[in-house]
């Protein structure tokens, strides 16, 4: 069995106006941006707690001898940490979990929080994949989203990363932004492709509760994006990225051949993973746990030798089967019949035969000898298809 390791860094310079992720804004003065900023005791305590939590899991009976094929440091903005802290995390966790240099080792970064010194530390720690939260190349869109970076930061960071030897870079882009039209979206796609990243992730902006954007929606100062235009943007991206050599391998993800995300594929294939950090989730041995979101509660628990877990559930077999279906259907390849049978010692057809038949008759699902997958027509309706597999 191979597993994935996820590490959550819940700190950002400032909150973006649309963000409902678990992250704390700690201000420019407390984030080490491009060699600036002061060492922050909260961040230092947090890094120590992460390593202590990791050490405990690495010694657990269930994980002993298991191999990890990916490490992903996400957030928040992991690159708020100093180069030294990032190096320490990468090197120590790789040693604790026996993660080789060949594994996919990703760090998420905000353009504008990296310089060549920090990039070098990432490389020295073994990071071989960068995931850049670009979102847009348009200065007005970046400002409207509350991003801390400028378009120029993206070009500079990308070019510095290449110089430091990063040959595997992802770019996150958002569409369906307030006031955005197809022409502006096409311009963003063109800029992204011109940089020639190995991987591109696309997300439609959604207006989530407890965000400034949601407040504006409630006050009538912002409207939900028109779904037909959003669908047009999705189609435009699909055609443009395919024409430029990016395979559409997951609903929201595109990659050059062989550059699909190993880490995220573990989630979509319903593999097991260990999660470290405040608010992180882990899933192995039939159990799913979620750590305390509160940073102090998380650090206090770890440092006093307690498990920092806020909630844990043992998954019912039928629930796990449904989850494997709707995670796997996100992949264009779909759910492997063999993987399903190996996981549950039951055939996919014996559990979901009727549902699959019904969805095939509506041309929402397709089937090959080895896989069940979404039809082209079903991609915009994916959530409706997933619901059909729930117990
Ligand atoms: S940088 Fe990412 S995690 Fe941080 S506030 Fe913005 S969207 Fe949220």
| Euclidean distance between CA atoms 20 and 26, whole angstroms | 16
Q: How far is CA 136 from CA 26, 60, 321, in A?
A: 23, 43, 37
pLDDT number for residue 38: 60
Please indicate, yes or no, if residue 287 is contained in any of the structural domains. Answer: no
Residue that is written with structure tokens 């704390």 in the block: 24
pLDDT band at 349; cut points 50, 70, 90: very high
> Angle between the 182-195 and 151-163 helix axes, to the nearest 10 degrees?
20
Residues 193 and 340 in one domain: no
pLDDT number for residue 30: 72
pLDDT number for residue 35: 63
Residues 263 and 322 in one domain: no
Please indicate, yes or no, if residue 148 is contained in any of the structural domains. Answer: yes
pLDDT band at 28; cut points 50, 70, 90: confident
> With 90 as the cut, is the pLDDT of residue 343 above it?
yes
Residues 245 and 349 in one domain: no
Count of other CB atoms within 10 angstroms of residue 206: 14
Q: Please compute the mean of the pLDDT values over residues 201-224 and round it to a whole number.
A: 93
Please indicate, yes or no, if residue 322 is contained in any of the structural domains. Answer: yes
For residue 14, the ligand 1 atom closest to its alpha carbon is 5
Residues 123 and 25 in one domain: yes
Residues 240 and 360 in one domain: no
Nearest CA to ligand 1 atom 8: 19
Residues 30 and 140 in one domain: yes
How buried is residue 220: exposed, middle or buried, by Cβ count under 10 Å (0-12/13-18/19+)? exposed
Please indicate, yes or no, if residue 115 is contained in any of the structural domains. Answer: yes
Sequence-distant (≥ 6) Cβ neighbours of residue 348 within 8 angstroms: 335, 337, 340, 341, 356, 372
Residues 119 and 19 in one domain: yes
Residues 221 and 369 in one domain: no
User: Is residue 74 a contact partner of residue 6, using CB atoms and an 8 Å limit?
Assistant: yes
pLDDT number for residue 54: 97
Please indicate, yes or no, if residue 344 is contained in any of the structural domains. Answer: yes
Q: What does pLDDT average to over the chain?
A: 94
For residue 19, the ligand 1 atom closest to its alpha carbon is 8
Nearest CA to ligand 1 atom 2: 76
Q: Please compute the mean of the pLDDT values over residues 199-222 and round it to a whole number.
A: 94
pLDDT number for residue 129: 98
Please indicate, yes or no, if residue 228 is contained in any of the structural domains. Answer: yes
Task: Answer yes or no: is the C-beta of 133 below 6 A from any ligand 1 atom.
Answer: yes
The greatest distance separating any two alpha carbons of the chain, rounded to the nearest whole angstrom, comes to: 61
120 C-alpha to center of ligand 1: Å? Answer: 23
User: Is residue 372 a contact partner of residue 329, using CB atoms and an 8 Å limit?
Assistant: yes
pLDDT number for residue 26: 86
Whichever domain contains 95, its CATH number is: 3.20.20.70
76 C-alpha to center of ligand 1: Å? Answer: 5
Give tens-digit pLDDT for 250-304. 999 999 999 999 999 999 999 999 999 999 999 999 999 999 999 999 999 999 9
Q: Which of 208, 240, 267 is the last residue in one of the domains?
A: 267
For residue 15, the ligand 1 atom closest to its alpha carbon is 5
| C-alpha radius of gyration, the chain, whole number | 21
Q: Please compute the mean of the pLDDT values over residues 309-323 and round it to a whole number.
A: 96
Percent of the chain with pLDDT over 90: 88
pLDDT band at 40; cut points 50, 70, 90: confident
| Euclidean distance between CA atoms 74 and 126, whole angstroms | 15
pLDDT number for residue 317: 95
Residues 207 and 75 in one domain: yes
Sequence-distant (≥ 6) Cβ neighbours of residue 386 within 8 angstroms: 325, 326, 329
Q: Which of 247, 267, 287 is the last residue in one of the domains?
A: 267
Whichever domain contains 376, its CATH number is: 1.10.10.920
Q: How many CA atoms lie within 13 A of 372 on its CB side?
A: 29
> With 70 as the cut, is the pLDDT of residue 344 above it?
yes
Q: Which of 267, 291, 306 is the last residue in one of the domains?
A: 267
Give tens-digit pLDDT for 42-65. 899 999 999 999 999 999 998 888
pLDDT number for residue 158: 97
Residues 245 and 174 in one domain: yes
> With 70 as the cut, is the pLDDT of residue 37 above it?
no
Residues 231 and 379 in one domain: no
Give tens-digit pLDDT for 231-253. 999 999 999 999 999 999 999 99
Residue 180's nearest CA partner among 132, 130, 137 is: 137
Residues 228 and 325 in one domain: no
Q: How many domains is the chain built from?
A: 2
Give tens-digit pLDDT for 143-181. 999 999 999 999 999 999 999 999 999 999 999 999 999
Range of the domain at 19: 2-267
Residue that is written with structure tokens 């050490």 in the block: 55
Please indicate, yes or no, if residue 281 is contained in any of the structural domains. Answer: no
Q: What share of the chain is helix, strand, coil (3-state, %, to 5)?
A: 45, 20, 35
Give tens-digit pLDDT for 107-134. 999 998 898 999 999 999 999 999 999 9
Give the SS3 label for residue 143.
helix
pLDDT number for residue 36: 53
User: Is residue 372 a contact partner of residue 324, using CB atoms and an 8 Å limit?
Assistant: no
pLDDT number for residue 34: 64
pLDDT band at 29; cut points 50, 70, 90: confident
Quick one: tokens of 200? 């591109």
356 C-alpha to center of ligand 1: Å? Answer: 38
> Could you tell me which residue, 27 or 353, shows the higher pLDDT?
353
- Ligand 1 mutation target, pool 9, 11, 12, most atoms within 8 A of CB: 12
């Amino acid at each position: 069995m191979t597993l994935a390791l996820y590490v959550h860094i819940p700190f950002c310079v400032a909150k973006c106006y649309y963000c409902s992720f678990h992250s704390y804004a700690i201000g420019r003065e407390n984030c080490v941006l491009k060699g600036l900023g002061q060492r922050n005791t909260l961040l230092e305590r947090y890094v120590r707690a992460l390593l202590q939590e990791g050490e405990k899991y690495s010694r657990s009976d269930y994980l002993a001898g298991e191999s990890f094929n990916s490490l992903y440091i996400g957030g928040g903005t992991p690159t708020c940490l100093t180069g030294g802290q990032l190096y320490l995390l990468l090197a120590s966790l790789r040693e604790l979990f026996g993660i080789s240099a060949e594994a996919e080792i990703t760090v998420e970064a905000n353009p504008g929080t990296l310089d060549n010194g920090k990039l070098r530390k990432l490389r020295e720690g073994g990071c071989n994949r960068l995931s850049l939260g670009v979102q847009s190349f348009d200065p007005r869109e970046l400002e409207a989203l509350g991003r801390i970076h400028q378009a120029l930061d993206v070009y500079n960071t990308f070019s510095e990363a290449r110089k430091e030897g990063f040959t595997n870079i992802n770019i996150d882009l958002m569409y369906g932004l307030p006031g955005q039209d197809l022409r502006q979206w096409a311009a963003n796609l063109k800029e992204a492709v011109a940089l020639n990243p190995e991987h591109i992730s696309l997300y439609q902006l959604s207006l989530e509760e407890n965000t400034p954007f949601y407040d504006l929606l409630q006050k009538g100062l912002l409207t939900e994006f028109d779904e037909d235009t959003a669908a047009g943007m999705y189609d435009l991206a699909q055609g443009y990225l395919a024409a430029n050599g990016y395979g559409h391998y997951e609903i929201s993800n595109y990659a050059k051949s062989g550059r699909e995300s190993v880490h995220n594929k573990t989630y979509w294939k319903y593999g097991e993973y260990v999660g470290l950090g405040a608010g992180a989730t882990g899933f192995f041995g039939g159990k799913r746990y979620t750590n305390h979101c509160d940073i102090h509660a998380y650090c206090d628990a770890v440092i006093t030798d307690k498990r920092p877990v806020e909630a844990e559930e043992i998954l019912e077999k039928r629930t796990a089967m449904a989850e494997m279906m709707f995670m796997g259907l996100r992949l264009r390849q779909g759910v492997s019949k063999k993987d399903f049978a190996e996981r549950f010692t039951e055939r996919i057809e014996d559990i979901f035969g009727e549902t699959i038949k019904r969805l095939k008759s509506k041309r929402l699902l397709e089937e090959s000898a080895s896989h069940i997958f979404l039809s082209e027509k079903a991609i915009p309706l994916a959530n409706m298809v997933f619901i059909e597999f729930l117990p």
